[in-house]
Chain A
Amino acid sequence: MIESRLASPVFTVAFCCTYALVFALNWPLFLYYPLHGDFVWGWRVLQGQGPAIVWYGFMADAVIAGLVASVCLPSRAVASRLRNYLWLFPCAAMVVCVFLLRHFFI
């Protein structure tokens, strides 16, 4: 049972969609300021606190969305309906990331 919950296609689908969305819209659940170890909810810039880490907030968004989806949606039904197209979700999320980071290279 635990193994079947962990090996959940729905988790990955929801995770990838949420990750691409929150990255594109800049919606981290929280920001972490490592200089003094401060957390703030959402996108709130603190002056004089040094650089913020956004990635933890994106990961938290995506993990929560994945867990909620894997509990609420029927994993087997989704897996059979999207059979052999499931790999497109992580692939699309990766393409979105490359596109959003293009300004570093051009």
Chain B
Amino acid sequence: MVAILLILHGLVAAALLGATTHQAMSVLRRGARRGGSFLDRYAGVRAQGFTVAIVLLYVVNVCLGAVLYPSYRLNVRVPLEEMSMAWAIGLFELKEHLGGIGLGLLPLYAYTWRPEVAETHRRDRIALTMILVVIVWWNFLVGHVVNNIRGLP
């Protein structure tokens, strides 16, 4: 059961990574055209259309992570402590706290992507999109690194 949930956690994280990166690239390259270079075509999407998908994927992924967390606490963190791998524990601690803050910023993120505040909250929207993409990339990479050191049983 844990293995299935972990695979699901990874798959949802990959989908989230794609969606947030697409949206962030689109925000950074506002003038991108669909027919231009690869980066232009990658960024030339309707960024607002990703918002609901990102919120849903993020919530689902945090829930999956929260379900898996007791197994990590008992079967991974304790051996990491015994191996004196404080840096790995620290990386994962940061992952869980950033993941929690990411969940808390979703209502504001969704608010800033509403069409009626598109112009008034432009700086908030760009900054929050970047913060979210940093959190998603960090959590994805740290999850993989810690899982490579010691995976869930």
Interface residues of A (CB under 8 A from B): 6-9, 11-13, 15-16, 19, 23, 32, 34-35, 50-51, 53, 55-56, 58-59, 62-63, 66, 70, 79-80, 83-87, 89-91, 93-94, 97-98, 101, 103-105
* Contact B104–A34 (Cβ < 8 Å): no
Interface residues on B, range: 35 or more
Say whether B74 faces chain A, with CB atoms less than 8 Å apart: yes
> Which listed residue, A7, A13, A91, touches B110 by the CB 8 Å rule?
A7
* Contact A51–B108 (Cβ < 8 Å): no
Q: Which residue of B lies closest to A58 (CB)?
A: B100
Contacts A32-B70, A84-B124 given; indicate if A105 touches B104 (C-beta within 8 A). no
Q: Which residue of B lies closest to A100 (CB)?
A: B97
Q: Write the nearest CB–CB distance from B139 to chain A, whole angstroms.
A: 12
* Contact B94–A91 (Cβ < 8 Å): no
CB neighbours of B71 from chain A (8 A): 34
Q: Write the nearest CB–CB distance from B100 to chain A, whole angstroms.
A: 5
For the complex, what is the distance from the CA of A84 to the CA of B103, rounded to whole Å?
20
Contacts A58-B100, A83-B124 given; indicate if A8 touches B74 (C-beta within 8 A). no
* Contact B98–A35 (Cβ < 8 Å): no
Q: Write the nearest CB–CB distance from B127 to chain A, whole angstroms.
A: 4
Say whether B105 faces chain A, with CB atoms less than 8 Å apart: yes
Question: Would you mind naming 17 contact pairs between A and B with Cβ atoms under 8 Å apart?
Answer: A8-B108, A11-B108, A12-B106, A12-B108, A16-B101, A19-B101, A55-B96, A56-B66, A62-B104, A79-B117, A83-B124, A84-B122, A85-B124, A86-B128, A87-B127, A91-B127, A105-B86
Interface residues of B (CB under 8 A from A): 66, 69-71, 73-74, 77-78, 86-87, 89-91, 93-94, 96-98, 100-112, 114, 117, 120-124, 127-128, 131, 135
**Residue from the set B106, B111, B114 with the largest chain A CB neighbour count within 10 Å:** B111
Q: Write the nearest CB–CB distance from B61 to chain A, whole angstroms.
A: 14
> Which listed residue, A11, A70, A94, touches B101 by the CB 8 Å rule?
A94
> Which listed residue, B73, B87, B111, touches A8 by the CB 8 Å rule?
B111
Q: Write the nearest CB–CB distance from A16 to chain B, whole angstroms.
A: 6
CB neighbours of B102 from chain A (8 A): 90
For the complex, what is the distance from the CA of A43 to the CA of B129, rounded to whole Å?
35
* Contact B121–A51 (Cβ < 8 Å): no
Q: Write the nearest CB–CB distance from A105 to chain B, whole angstroms.
A: 5
For the complex, what is the distance from the CA of A84 to the CA of B125, rounded to whole Å?
8
